[in-house]
Amino acid sequence: MISQEDDFNFIYLCLMLRYLLWGFFIYFSVRFLLDFVIPMIKTTRQVKKQFDAVREQQQEFFRQQTTQQAAQPTTKKAASTDDDYIEFEEIK
């Protein structure tokens, strides 16, 4: 027959195993958060800031280009005159 002491040892072993598994679970969860999730969040924020900075630079450049083009008078060249014409002679 199984004695009370064996039952107590079995229950004690089950409880210890349970706490040990919970300890491993908590340890690996914290390690996963610290080694993977938090660096990924930091990297994502840094990349987003860099993309925003580049986008802002492009928009500023575009604004400068459009203001320069708007400020320059749009005068067309006069029609070509005969002074611009170069006589062509065929060489045989």
Residue 27 lies in a domain: yes
Residue 9 lies in a domain: yes
Question: How many structural domains are present in the chain?
Answer: 1
Residue 76 lies in a domain: no
pLDDT at res. 77: 55
**For 64-80, what is the mean pLDDT?**
71
Could you tell me how far CA 24 lies from the centroid of its own chain? 33
**For 34-59, what is the mean pLDDT?**
96
> What span, in angstroms and rounded, lies between the C-alpha atoms of 26 and 44?
26
Residue 90 lies in a domain: no
**C-alpha separations of 51 from 29, 45, 48, 82 in Å:** 31, 10, 5, 54
Q: What is the value of pTM for the model shown?
A: 0.53
Residue 71 lies in a domain: no
pLDDT at res. 67: 87
Residue 12, domain extent: 4-64
